[in-house]
Amino acid sequence: MIQFFKIDKSKIHKSEFSLINDKQAYKFFLKRFLYLIIIIYSTLFLAAAIPFVSTPFVPIYFAGSFTAAIFSIRLINHFFKYKRFKNGKISLNENEIIITGASETVNISADSITYIELNIPGNLVIKEKERSTSFPYSLLEEKDREALLSNFVDMAPKRTALYKKVWEFIDAVAVALILAVHIIQYIVQAYFIPTGSMMDTLRIGDHLFVEKITYGPIIPKMIGMEKPLHLSWLGIRGIKRGDIVIFRPPHEKDKDYIKRCIAVPGDKIEIKHGYVYINGKKIDESSYVKGLTYDDSRTSKIQGIVPEGKVVVLGDNRENSMDSRYFGYLEIERIKGKAFILYWNTDDIKKLDFSRIGLIK
C-alpha cells in the first residue's frame, strides 16, 4: 500500500527509532522467506486442487505469481536495505529528521520536506525539492513503525482506511480459500449424486460427505509432478472390498465417479453367469446389488489378477453403471476418499423420510 504524509511540526515528538538487530533480522528474513514458500506452494496447490473448475486453474497461477513477485521484490529490497542501514536509526525533532546508515548520516530540514511517501517495497521516502532520501521503514519493530508514522499527517486518511479494509478483506478471503481447499482435499468434501449407477444404495439427488482420512492424503498433481502422490502411510488403513469410494476415472478430466470397491491388489476376479467371483468364490452381493453383473470375458479389461496399486470398482446398479468393466483397473492414486455420511435427499425430506440419513455402507 502507498501512503503519503505531510509534515506538521506540532505533531512531531522528539524520538529515535533503531533498526532491528542481528537476531531480530534473522527471524525477520526467515519468517518472510517462509511466507514466500507458502505463497508459491499455495499457488501451485490451489491451481491443482480448487474445486468446481477445470484444473489446473490458470487465473490462480497469474494471481499467485503476481503476489510472489511483489513479495520477492520486497524481500530483496529488505535484504539490501538491511546491509546498507545495518545498526542504523531515524531520529526526529521539530526542526529536522536525521537518518543514520551504516556509513553515512543524512540531516533533513523539516522545512525543506515537500511530502513523505511510504511505498510498496516498504521504504519511507522523504521528498525534498531537489532530492529524495529513503529509509527502510519495514526493518523497524512493529511498535516503532506505528510510533514513527504518528509523527506525520496522512494526506488521504479515508483512502488509507479504505485500502486497509480492502487488504484485510482480500487477506481473509485468501486464507479462508486456502484452508477450505486443504480441508476439501485432505479431510472431507460434500458431493451430490446425479446418476442412478449406485441404486439403490445411493439415489439420484443424494447429498453426502466423503472423508479423506482413512486412505491417507493424496497430494494433487502440481507442476513438476507426473501424477498425484498418495501418502498411504498417513492413512488409517488401505482400501477394502465393499468400500464405496469417490474417484476420478482415467478417461475423465473434471468429473468424479462413485462406485464400490469389489477387488483389491492380488485378488483374482472373474465375472460369469451374471455374478462376481473373487479368488474362485462367488461373493454374496445380494444386500446391495441391483441387477446382474455382465462382462464379456473375451474383451474384459478386468478379469484376472488385479495388479499392484490398482483396484476394481463397480456400481451397485450393475446393468446401468460406467465402471471398471469399461475403463479397466483403477489406480489407487485416483481415489479421493471414502463415502461417509448421507445427509440430505430433497425428495426424502419432502416426504419427512429421514430413514436413509446416516453412515453409508
Give residue limits of the domains in the chain. Answer: 3-178, 188-359
Q: Is 218 buried (19+), middle (13-18) or exposed (0-12) by CB count in 10 A?
A: buried
- The mean pLDDT of 152-161, rounded to a whole number, is 93
Whole-number mean pLDDT of the chain? 92
Q: What is the pLDDT of residues 178-223, one digit of tens each?
A: 999 999 999 999 999 999 999 999 999 999 999 999 999 989 889 9
**How confident is residue 1, by pLDDT bands cut at 50, 70 and 90?**
low
* DSSP structural state of residue 290: B
Q: Is the CB of residue 324 less than 8 Å from the CB of residue 299? A: no
Q: What is the pLDDT of residues 95-138, one digit of tens each?
A: 999 999 988 999 999 999 999 999 999 999 999 988 999 999 99
Percent of the chain with pLDDT over 90: 78
Task: Read off φ and ψ for residue 140, nearest 5 degrees.
Answer: -90, 160
Nearest to 174 by CA among 75, 36, 67, 57: 67
Q: Which residue has the higher pLDDT, 253 or 60?
A: 60
Beta strands in 201-274, from DSSP E residues, in sequence order: 206-211, 218-219, 229-230, 244-247, 257-263, 268-272
Residue 19: the pLDDT is 95
The CATH T-level fold of domain 188-359 is Umud Fragment, subunit A (2.10.109)
Instruction: Render the burial of 1-26: b for 16+ CB within 10 Å, e for the rest.
Output: eebbbebeeeebeeeebebbeeeebe
Residue 102: the pLDDT is 86
Q: What is the pLDDT of residues 37-52, one digit of tens each?
A: 999 999 999 999 998 8
Does 308 have pLDDT greater than 90? yes
- Give the other-Cβ count within 10 Å of 291's Cβ: 14
Residue 145: the pLDDT is 94
Does 158 have pLDDT greater than 90? yes
Percent of the chain with pLDDT over 70: 100
